[in-house]
């Protein structure tokens, strides 16, 4: 990093010459004022002497430790945190930043292995290697007599203490407040450090709904990871609470746990159907959202689709399961006004459960919604005014259609290109109103061809028109 000393960079400014220094990426300026004969300005004001507690000012007569990190009295210190000592002035010359330099200015009890270095001329850091052991209390001292670059010395020994993290539960599986967990799986407890296995056995308990402790086997995959396998597995659809008592101890240090900890979870229950949509026997089922089945325990989508039977066959039938596994949605090309039977049975629970009561669901799908529309690809159609205008409409499940024709001005027609036709109100009255029946079987398309004429049966004059069609439900 480059920097400048002065108000501006460059060769000269305000009649003064300024120099740019770049030493080892650090700009350091140490101003040492003689301890005697301070410069006086004005009426006895003293320049160059400040309060001895001001960082970086060498006018004080003694070297001071500004602070140490971790601070004195800190508990639960992370095991990999660097230890930093800040002084109020340079203790080593700049050359010490790129060379081994003098001995460490601080001592620890018990000793800490690692790499120490000066971050700058007034800040020393120790990087523990390996990480600090847990559950351990440390004291540190900066001995009196340590000298700074300006010759001042630390007048009294600086002392402090800190402690590393105490033994505690770091992660658990199942996680705290988890629901629908696997009743076949063991519990896994990961600690924040290596722990005494005997103390864990004495401190750990698992209880169902506040009842007696659940027996089980303890195995250790790592010095800090317990696997607890309940004897006979866990009950289905039950709530459990696990507790780790305060008697937990570390193998890394003597400090005890801060206190007990606990977490709870519940297991998945038996597999049953809560409800369905459509309901059994429904005769006008709307399948816009598919067939939806809610269950009491998570299910596997692949297994559910393999166990599903639908009659008559539905092309493109697929089964989607929600993220929580509790909702099955079956979609496909269901036909309108058709009676279906759906059967779902067998083992398709996420954790191997079998559906307690097989599902047999019968329903009849709704007819297609009534609709009438023009048999053209656009809502704007042009015709030859000098030929008969034969209009074609198509309808489905509509008994009849009402047609109303309005003349439009050029301005009205242009406004319809950018406005909502559903709320448009023509300025002129209707010039033609027709009522036409639409005849076709249920869910089949009926085609209507209508010759449009003007008042009195005359041909429509060249111009712009709006034709509104309203369906009538059969």
- Closest listed residue to residue 60, CA positions, set 48, 68, 72: 48
Could you check whether 65-164 and 273-365 share the same CATH topology?
Answer: yes
- Average pLDDT on 91-116 reads 88
Tell me the two tokens of residue 330.
Answer: 């079956």
pTM: 0.71
Q: Where are the beta strands (DSSP E) in 14-136?
A: 16-17, 20-21, 39-41, 45-47, 65-69, 74-77, 83-87, 107-109, 114-120, 123-128
Distance CA 27, CA 12 (A): 20
According to the model, what pLDDT value does residue 474 have?
64
Per DSSP bridges, beta strands 178-181 and 261-267 are: parallel
In the predicted model, what is the mean pLDDT of residues 341-347?
97
- Helix, strand or coil for residue 320? strand
Topology classification of domain 65-164:
Immunoglobulin-like (2.60.40)
Q: Tell me which DSSP letter residue 214 carries.
A: P
Residue 96 φ/ψ, nearest 5 degrees: -70, -15
pLDDT in tens, 272-292: 999 999 999 999 999 999 999
Cβ neighbours of 51 (radius 10 Å): 8
pLDDT of res. 452: 86
Q: What are phi and psi of 95, to 5 degrees?
A: -60, -25
Helix (H, G, I), strand (E, B) or coil at 354: strand
Kindly list the domain boundaries of the chain, sorted by start residue.
65-164, 169-267, 273-365, 371-473
**3-class DSSP state of 430:** coil
pLDDT at 412 over 50: yes
- What number of residues does the chain have? 474
Report residue 95's pLDDT band, with 50, 70 and 90 as the boundaries: confident
**Two structure tokens written together for 123:** 């800040």
The CATH number, out of the four listed (2.60.40.3710, 3.30.70.370, 1.10.10.10, 3.40.50.10190), of the domain defined by the range 169-267: 2.60.40.3710
Per-residue buried b or exposed e for 199-224, using 16+ beta carbons within 10 Å of the residue's own CB: bbeebbebbbeeeeebebeeeeeeeb
Q: Does domain 273-365 have CATH number 2.40.160.10?
A: no
Closest CA to 132 of 255, 296, 294, 1: 255
Residue in 262, 267, 214, 218 with CA at minimum distance from that of residue 239: 267
Closest CA to 279 of 361, 386, 373: 361
CA-CA distances (angstroms) from residue 422 to 317, 407, 416, 467, 469?
37, 17, 10, 12, 11
Query: Residue 43's pLDDT band (boundaries 50, 70, 90)?
Result: very low
- Give the CATH number of domain 371-473: 2.60.40
Helix (H, G, I), strand (E, B) or coil at 319: strand
Mind listing the pLDDT tens digit for each residue in 223-272? 999 999 999 999 999 999 999 999 999 999 999 999 999 999 999 999 99
> Dmax of the chain from CA atoms?
122
CB 146 within 8 A of CB 63: yes
Tokens 């120099």 label which residue? 19
Would you call 470 helix, strand, or coil by DSSP? strand
- From the number of C-beta atoms within 10 Å of its C-beta (0-12, 13-18, 19+), residue 438 rates as buried
């Amino acid at each position: 990093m480059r920097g400048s000393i002065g108000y501006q960079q460059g060769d000269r400014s305000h009649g003064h010459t300024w120099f740019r220094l770049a030493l080892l990426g650090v700009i350091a300026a140490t101003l040492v004022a003689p301890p005697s004969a301070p410069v006086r300005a004005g009426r006895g004001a003293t320049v160059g002497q400040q309060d001895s507690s001001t960082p970086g000012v060498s006018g004080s007569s003694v070297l001071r430790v500004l602070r140490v990190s971790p601070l004195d009295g800190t508990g639960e210190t992370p095991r990999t945190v660097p230890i930093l000592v800040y002084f109020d002035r340079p203790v080593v010359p700049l050359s010490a930043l790129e060379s081994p330099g003098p001995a460490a200015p601080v001592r620890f009890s018990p000793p800490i292995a690692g790499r120490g270095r000066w971050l700058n001329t007034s800040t020393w850091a120790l990087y523990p290697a390996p990480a600090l052991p847990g559950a351990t209390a440390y004291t540190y001292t900066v001995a009196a007599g340590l000298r700074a670059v300006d010759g001042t010395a630390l007048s009294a020994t600086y002392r402090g203490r800190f402690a590393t993290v105490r033994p505690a539960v770091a992660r658990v599986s199942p996680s705290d407040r988890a629901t629908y967990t696997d009743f076949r799986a063991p519990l896994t407890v990961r600690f924040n450090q290596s722990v005494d296995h005997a103390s864990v056995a004495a401190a750990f308990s698992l209880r169902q709904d506040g009842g007696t402790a659940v027996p089980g086997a303890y195995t250790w995959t790592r010095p800090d990871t317990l696997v607890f396998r309940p004897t006979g597995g866990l009950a289905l659809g039950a709530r459990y609470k696990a507790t780790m008592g305060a008697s937990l101890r570390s193998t890394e240090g003597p400090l005890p746990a801060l206190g007990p900890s606990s977490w709870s979870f519940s297991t998945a229950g038996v597999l049953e159907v809560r409800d369905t949509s459509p309901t059994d026997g429904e005769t006008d089922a709307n399948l816009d959202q598919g067939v939806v089945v809610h269950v009491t325990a998570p299910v596997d989508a692949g297994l559910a689709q393999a166990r599903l039977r639908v009659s008559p066959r539905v092309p493109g039938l697929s089964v989607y399961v929600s993220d929580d596994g509790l909702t099955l949605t079956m979609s496909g090309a269901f036909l309108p006004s058709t009676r279906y039977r759906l059967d779902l049975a067998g083992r398709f629970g996420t954790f191997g459960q079998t559906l307690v009561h097989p599902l047999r669901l019968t329903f009849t799908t709704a007819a297609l919604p009534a609709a009438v529309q023009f048999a053209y690809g656009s809502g704007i159609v042009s015709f030859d005014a000098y030929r008969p205008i034969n209009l074609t409409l198509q309808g489905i499940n509509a008994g009849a259609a009402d047609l109303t024709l309005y003349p439009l001005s050029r301005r009205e027609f242009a406004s319809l290109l950018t406005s909502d036709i559903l709320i448009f109100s023509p300025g002129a009255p209707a010039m033609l109103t027709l009522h036409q029946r639409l005849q076709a079987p249920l869910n089949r398309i009926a085609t209507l061809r209508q010759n449009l004429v003007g008042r009195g049966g005359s041909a429509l004059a060249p111009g712009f028109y709006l034709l509104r069609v309203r369906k009538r439900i059969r």
